[in-house]
Amino acid sequence: MRRLLVLLLLVLATPVLGEPRWAGPGARQYWPLKAERIEAYRTGDRAYFEALLADDFVALGPDGRRVGRADYLAAEFGTGQRQALGTRTEVVDFAATRTGDTLVLAYEEMEVTTVGTGRFVTHLQRLDVYVLRQGRWRLQTMSGVRIPEAPAAMALRPEQLADYVGEYAFGPGLVSTVRLQDGRLVEQTTGQAAAPLVPVGPDLFYSPGDLEARVQFERDPAGRVVAQIYRSGSQVLRGPRAN
């Protein structure tokens, strides 16, 4: 189900209300390229996309999958009824850069898709590359990367935060130092700048500079913090407390 929603969010949208916020000179001139695509998606106009997509077209979805021209068209305009989803799309910071016969469109896009009685919200950074061939702009590549959002923070008193203060050894010469500074928890790994740790759950923190990673502290049966665990995607690192 998740992959289906990712693909649908990559290709399906309804018209934007009004024009987007421009991010530089030339953006307004090339906005119709995006607006026409939105309308073609809405109406299921396969012929438009067959003419638009370059023969070597490739899409990179928010989940990291690469999709070629034939598979893309089949997924969006294949046999069977297109799933009816109501999507509201907002585009901001729309920028266009042309170099010779190559045009790059970059913009932020927030999509709110209604699925039954629920809503699926995705905030994306998008990049589209067009090439001018035989007097027509053809879409050669497009990509969408999710913009992570910060989780809700929880409040902890300084005496609670003091439990985590210490040094955690992840390997030879690689130590994470956690200290209390102005009532906040701050972490600094060897060779890196210090960064705040924001509590989001019991013994669980995140750093504003890396919204997708989580720092969790491990306690022993007596309740003493004995290790720090760093998680980012499928990667897990454990650093025992060194003091």
Q: Which domains does the chain have, with CATH numbers?
A: 2-146 (3.10.450.50), 158-240 (2.40.128.50)
40 dihedral zone (left: phi>0; alpha: psi -120 to 50; beta): alpha
How many Å apart are CA 111 and CA 206, to the nearest integer?
Answer: 25
Q: Give me the mean pLDDT over the 21-48 stretch.
A: 85
Asked if residue 94 has pLDDT above 80, the reply is yes
pLDDT tens-digit readout, 165-176: 999 999 999 999
Please tell me the pTM assigned to this model: 0.64
Instruction: Output the pLDDT for position 15.
Output: 42
Q: Work out the number of other CB atoms within 10 angstroms of the CB of residue 29.
A: 10
Return the pLDDT at 8.
37
The residue-averaged pLDDT of 88-109 equals 91
Q: How confident is the model at residue 159 (pLDDT cuts 50, 70, 90)?
A: very high
